[in-house]
Chains A and B, each alone.
Chain A
């Protein structure tokens, strides 16, 4: 049993990260009934931007760059956690403006549109940064490792899992406990009534979409030191995100979180026995669950099924 502990912990931290990756995707699916296939590319874009900002050549005017570089890495990292998602959020605005035309049509159009957007962003990343791998620097305090039970543990993994848990809790608070969340949910439930009450639903949808894309960028920054930064990371993120949502059930917040943890545990534990095949385990888990429960763990009926 004790041999499994590292794999269990590894799986749990991985699970929290999966849940974090799926979070922005889930917001957009759950509250707007739109699939954002560009989620992965925005995730990658966030990581690349963070790498650029924390690196030795930030994309700033020369004087500003000097001041910026004089700051300790910790400060720069913290600031990047805000700057990069904001820039990605701007891209999100552009995508939402295109996507508006597809609202009310077959959800397939939104999916195809964002597939195109994903391709454009990924190609742009390749053009700007090339195809080589990069490393995102993290502050001293959270890098390195520590000894526990005669094993070396990576500090960053636990830091990342902690941040993921905090962000999940924050998003839950915003959706469930604020007037903003209530309006957004009402808008998803019955857009006509919400409009009739004089609420600007167009702006609200834009906000939700931008929030979703910013969460993608945050996830990208948090996950980048573990997965590395390369053009393919977008696809590596969007598929698990999609999987977590389908497994947890469209429209269920805790479904997504639990599914994320399940997927993480599944990948972590199967990694203990057959590391080559561990990624396959999540698809098998999905097929097994969805064969029994057609809408995932806690899914609701959605227009996306039609």
Chain B
């Protein structure tokens, strides 16, 4: 039951879920300190959500297991900082550089891996991820090595007539929210466009898609590049939020976290799954992490349980429960024409 194949929502620009989500997100700075959390967490959640959504283009939409995505997130962060230091200190140029840098790296990798599938694909992405990570650590003069690229500034958002200062966390939150909103709508349209449908078809069967005349390699390479570029955008925002860029986010572990977030949330079955996963992951990190040092242990166990029993993740479980509920109501009301109503296939 994928969002892109089932929902009549697919054709819409904005869905009710989106409106509720936007309302919640827009009011975060007003209530987040009241529930015992802090404004910076809101920024982190948005940035990681964007990253996870970009990652899910590859994992969920195209069904390609990429385990080295941290590289593109990290390259985005470094590109943002380097552009600021060496080129121009303009926010838009720097964010574009983050996307471009990560996109180019993604395109380069895509050249080597797009004819592969399955485990070979997974491993090649790990290998390339490790290459970028090693370079980030060893190229001291460029990236500052293990200390990272420090003193990255939160540049003002200059709209020509009016410029906003983003040094304050609340201001940065709203800026990130706007970028997130634009990116999410773009991704949503992308996934539901004819292009997105072809990608979904390739996920189901590469051979079949190829026989229908689609250039499978080109589609796989392009979706990977796009995903890398949007991850880079998230990385650029992250550099701005952190005021620095560190090689840490490029490590295998951190690349694994985004896989975990996406799967726990239900990225395989739902467009919003990764966002759910990021919420759960980061809030669990703060809440369980406050109680015990071993939060990764518990989260790891939760992750194992989800892979074993609910591979479709939280969003999938929720959707299943919801459907059962509505089905139950309809049955009680004596609707025998369920299949007519809902178009058979979906309910089997």
Contact string against B for A residues 269-291, beta-carbon threshold 8 Å, 1 for contact and 0 otherwise? 00000001101100110110011
Say yes or no for A139: interface residue by CB 8 A criterion.
no
Which chain A residue has the least Cβ–Cβ distance from B121?
A: A305
CA distance A113 to B304 in the complex (A): 5
CB pair A280–B135 under 8 Å, yes or no, is yes
B23 within 8 A of A: no
Cβ contacts under 8 Å, A284 to chain B: 131
Residues A277 and B138 in contact, CB atoms below 8 Å apart? yes
Task: Tell me whether A123 is interfacial, beta carbon within 8 Å.
Answer: yes
Nearest CB of A to B261, in Å: 12
- For the complex, what is the distance from the CA of A235 to the CA of B296, rounded to whole Å? 16
Task: Indicate if the CB atoms of B256 and A115 lie closer than 8 Å.
Answer: yes
Q: Count residues on chain A whose CB falls below 8 Å from chain B CBs.
A: 40
**Of B116, B131, B294, B297, which contacts A294 at CB under 8 A?**
B116
Known contacts A113-B308, A127-B293, A239-B126; can you find 12 more A-B pairs with CB under 8 A? A98-B304, A102-B307, A112-B303, A119-B297, A120-B301, A124-B294, A127-B294, A246-B120, A290-B124, A302-B119, A305-B119, A306-B118
Q: How far is the CB of B248 from chain A (nearest CB, A)?
A: 12
- Does B300 touch A at the CB level, under 8 Å? yes
Bound form: Cα–Cα A277–B133 in Å:
12
Is A242 a contact partner of B126 (Cβ separation < 8 A)? yes
Q: Is B324's CB within 8 Å of the partner chain A?
A: no
- In chain A, residues 77-116, which have Cβ atoms closer than 8 Å to a Cβ of chain B? 98, 101-102, 107-109, 111-113, 115-116
- Selected from B122, B252, B260, B299, the residue in CB contact (under 8 A) with A111 is B122
- Give the interface of A toward B (CB within 8 A): 35, 98, 101-102, 107-109, 111-113, 115-117, 119-120, 123-124, 127, 235, 239, 242-243, 246, 250, 276-277, 279-280, 283-284, 286-287, 290-291, 294-295, 302, 304-306
A304 to B122, CA, bound (A): 10
Contacts of B297 in A (CB 8 A): 119-120, 123-124, 127
Q: How many Å from the CB of A250 to the closest CB on chain B?
A: 7
A111→B123 CA distance, assembly (Å): 11
The answer for the CA separation of A294 and B113 in the assembled complex, in Å, is 10
Give Cα A167 to B259, complex, Å: 35
- In the assembled complex, the Cα of A113 lies from the Cα of B119 at a distance in Å of 14
List which B287-303 residues lie within 8 A (CB) of chain A.
293-294, 296-297, 299-301, 303
Q: Decide: A101 and B259 in contact? CB cutoff 8 A.
A: no
Query: Complex: how many Å from CA A147 to CA B82?
Result: 49
B134 surroundings in chain A (CB, below 8 A): 277, 279-280, 283
Q: Note all chain B residues with C-beta closer than 8 A to A235.
A: 251-253
Chain A residue, CB-CB nearest to B293: A127
Q: Which of B116, B119, B138, B256 contacts A119 (CB 8 A)?
A: B256
Beta-carbon contact of B300 and A119 below 8 Å:
yes
Interface string of B91-105 (1 = CB under 8 A from A): 000000000000000
Contact residues on B (Cβ < 8 Å of other chain), bracket: 35 or more
B307–A116 touching, CB < 8 Å: yes
**Taking the complex as formed, is B127 at the interface, i.e. its CB lies under 8 A from any CB of chain A?**
yes
Known contacts being A119-B303, A306-B117, is A112 close to B294, with CB within 8 Å? Answer: no
- The 8 Å CB contact of B112, one of A276, A287, A306, is A287
Task: List 29 interface pairs A-B (beta carbons < 8 Å), by A numbering.
Answer: A107-B118, A107-B119, A111-B122, A112-B263, A113-B307, A116-B301, A116-B307, A117-B304, A119-B256, A119-B296, A119-B297, A119-B299, A120-B300, A120-B301, A123-B296, A124-B294, A124-B297, A127-B294, A235-B251, A239-B252, A243-B127, A276-B138, A280-B135, A287-B127, A287-B128, A290-B120, A290-B124, A304-B119, A304-B120
CB <8 Å contact, A283 and B130: yes
| A284: min CB distance to chain B, Å | 8
- Give the distance in Å from the alpha carbon of A102 to the alpha carbon of B303 in the complex: 14
CB within 8 Å for A305 and B120 given contacts A112-B263, A119-B256, A239-B252: yes
Query: How many Å lie between the Cα of A156 and that of B242 in the bound state?
Result: 45
Indicate whether B106 reaches chain A with its CB closer than 8 angstroms.
no
- Across the interface, which residues of A come within 8 angstroms of B122, CB to CB? 108, 111
Contacts of A290 in B (CB 8 A): 120, 124
Taking CB atoms, residues of chain A closer than 8 Å to B117 are 305-306
Cβ 8 A contact of A286, one of B65, B127, B259 = B127
- Taken together as a complex, chains A and B put the C-alpha atoms of A295 and B117 apart, in Å, by 11
> In the assembly, what is the distance between CA of A273 and CA of B130, in Å?
21
Question: Given that A35-B119, A280-B134 are contacting pairs, would A115 and B296 also be in contact in the complex, using a CB cutoff of 8 Å?
Answer: no
Q: What string of 1s and 0s marks CB contacts (under 8 Å) between B127-170 and chain A?
A: 11011001100100000000000000000000000000000000
